[in-house]
Amino acid sequence: MKTITTTQELAAFCEAAAQHDYVTVDTEFLRERTYYAKLCLVQLAMPGEGDEGAVLVDPLADGLDLAPLWRLMADETVVKVFHAARQDLEIFLHDGDVIPHPLFDTQVAAMVCGFGEQVGYETLVRKIARESVDKTSRFTDWSRRPLSEAQKKYALADVTHLRVIYEYLAGELEKSGREAWVREELDVLTSPETYRIVPEEAWKRVKTRTSSGKFLAVVRELARFREDYAQRRNVPRNRVFKDDALTELASTKPKDHKDLGRSRLLLREARKGEIADGILEAVEAGLNCPPEHMPQPDRARDKLNVNPALADLLRVLLKAKSEELGVASKLIASAADLDFIAAGERDVHALSGWRREAFGADALRLCEGKIALTVQGRDVKVISA
């Protein structure tokens, strides 16, 4: 197993990889103590057998410049193959200001090819590559050096088996004519906006039971301060204060440090210094927010006039289409999508793109009474009404 520790070695490998149609990629990282993931290892493999053409890249090696890797990731002539790529892409965008493209995500492709929802890498290795993955090194500190042989073997397996999985799934997509379906899904993964968390929007990630505008204004300011502080200091947002402490603060609305000291849920470190000052300023800003600028909860679903019988029929149709096409049902449409359609809404994710072809068009015909559902044996069939 070759481990690359110099820029020259990395450049040579990347130049060789650029001569192939694809390269498989994976990363190992730590995120428990930082806001942004700390890249600890990059695994790469060109087409080949076993460990042939596969390497480990050590980003922690002294003097190693990852510029050749970033150039390879941006090379439009080479498909970059990942499994469940989202966290890897976020790291590459943050560290190298690049999102690998063109991209192939085997988890997305597997859902389109009938392997179920959010299928794991080990499952695909077992079902497609007919191999097994040694999981003993899964939970390990990848920042410690030297890496053991077991760690290296585990890490390399994440890209060597991926070659077989990619070639199989790419072939299945070509046969079914569904390459465009996967490309549409990957457009979201390859958009930089997917990975940018704007502090002013962070409040939308906080679950609350109160819809009061003033309460939500305080939540918004607290979440904004926390996100901004976490990003600037590169610490996990929960190390600043957790969501339950945030909602407690929005309820109690502390006015001074003495009030902060009465909090049941606030971490000790957050009761003083910059964090404490930021909390008090955020609470004050939220309380002083003009009514017209207060955030409003999304009540779109509350106002829906859902036809429950039609919603149930749409669920049956979705299940039938999912089984017929061999595509995970949750990838096609969510429960919320079905309720929106049953309420007469038409600006729905499941009614656009490849989903319209797979399900949406028949869903609309069902709503209009143009088709019906019948049972033939154990199968649900669509018939003209």
User: What is the per-residue pLDDT for 55?
Assistant: 98
Region 306-325: mean pLDDT is: 94
**Residue 276 sits in the same domain as residue 226:** yes
Tell me the per-residue pLDDT of 142-179, one tens digit each, with 9 for 90 and over: 999 999 999 999 999 999 999 999 999 999 999 999 99
Only one residue has tokens 């990059």, namely 42
When pLDDT is cut at 50, 70 and 90, the band that residue 302 belongs to is low
Residue 298 has pLDDT above 70, yes or no: no
- Domain harbouring 341, CATH code: 1.10.150
The partner residues of 79 in beta bridges, in order of sequence, read: 22
In a domain, 301, yes or no: no
Residue 134 has pLDDT above 90, yes or no: no
User: What is the per-residue pLDDT for 304?
Assistant: 77
User: What is the per-residue pLDDT for 239?
Assistant: 95
- When comparing pLDDT for 289 and 378, which is higher? 289
User: How far, in Å, are 179, 183, 323, 325, 356 from residue 112 at the CA level?
Assistant: 9, 11, 11, 8, 14
In a domain, 299, yes or no: no
In a domain, 132, yes or no: yes
Tell me the per-residue pLDDT of 69-118, one tens digit each, with 9 for 90 and over: 999 999 999 999 999 999 999 999 999 999 999 999 999 999 999 998 88
In a domain, 300, yes or no: no
DSSP conformation class of 192? G
Amino acid at 78: V
User: What is the per-residue pLDDT for 379?
Assistant: 86
**Residue 185 sits in the same domain as residue 283:** no
**Residue 274 sits in the same domain as residue 369:** no
**Residue 68 sits in the same domain as residue 191:** yes
**Residue 265 sits in the same domain as residue 330:** no
User: What is the per-residue pLDDT for 299?
Assistant: 60
**Residue 180 sits in the same domain as residue 107:** yes
Could you tell me whether strands 38-45 and 54-57 are parallel, antiparallel, or unpaired per DSSP bridges?
A: antiparallel
CB 235 within 8 A of CB 35: yes
CA atoms within 13 A on the CB side of 194: 17
Percentage of the chain beyond pLDDT 90 is 89
Residue 301 has pLDDT above 70, yes or no: no
CB 249 within 8 A of CB 234: no
Domain range for 359 is 308-384
In a domain, 370, yes or no: yes
When pLDDT is cut at 50, 70 and 90, the band that residue 303 belongs to is low
Report the 10 Å Cβ neighbour count for 360. Answer: 23
**Residue 319 sits in the same domain as residue 377:** yes
**Residue 210 sits in the same domain as residue 286:** yes
**Residue 68 sits in the same domain as residue 141:** yes
End of a domain among 293, 327, 358? 293
In a domain, 39, yes or no: yes
In a domain, 90, yes or no: yes
For the chain, what is the domain count?
3
DSSP conformation class of 126? I
The partner residues of 82 in beta bridges, in order of sequence, read: 105
Residue 135 has pLDDT above 90, yes or no: no
User: What is the per-residue pLDDT for 378?
Assistant: 84
Q: What does the alpha-carbon distance between residue 151 and residue 58 come to, in Å, rounded to a whole number?
A: 13
Region 121-126: mean pLDDT is: 95
> How high does pLDDT run on average in the chain?
94
Tell me the per-residue pLDDT of 15-31, one tens digit each, with 9 for 90 and over: 999 999 999 999 999 99
End of a domain among 293, 321, 354? 293
Tell me the per-residue pLDDT of 182-213, one tens digit each, with 9 for 90 and over: 999 999 999 999 999 999 999 999 999 888 99
Could you tell me whether strands 371-376 and 379-384 are parallel, antiparallel, or unpaired per DSSP bridges?
A: antiparallel
Kindly write down the DSSP assignment for every residue of 267-315, as one continuous string.
-GGGGSHHHHHHHHHHHHHHHT--GGGS-----TTTT----HHHHHHHH
- Domain harbouring 109, CATH code: 3.30.420.10
Tell me the per-residue pLDDT of 29-57, one tens digit each, with 9 for 90 and over: 999 999 999 999 999 999 999 899 999 99
**Residue 316 sits in the same domain as residue 230:** no
User: What is the per-residue pLDDT for 352?
Assistant: 96
**Residue 60 sits in the same domain as residue 156:** yes
Q: What is the CA radius of gyration of the chain?
A: 25
Considering all CA atoms of the chain, what is the largest pairwise distance in Å, rounded to the nearest integer?
A: 71
Question: Structure tokens of 353?
Answer: 């793109």
Question: Structure tokens of 272?
Answer: 């003083």
Report the 10 Å Cβ neighbour count for 118. Answer: 13
User: How far, in Å, are 3, 46, 361 from residue 106 at the CA level?
Assistant: 25, 16, 27
Question: Structure tokens of 56?
Answer: 């480990």
When pLDDT is cut at 50, 70 and 90, the band that residue 300 belongs to is low
Residues, the chain: 385
Report the 10 Å Cβ neighbour count for 218. Answer: 26
**Residue 183 sits in the same domain as residue 264:** no
- Domain harbouring 266, CATH code: 1.10.150.80
In a domain, 250, yes or no: yes
CA torsion angle for 44, 45, 51, 52 (degrees, to 10)?
A: -130
End of a domain among 240, 268, 293? 293
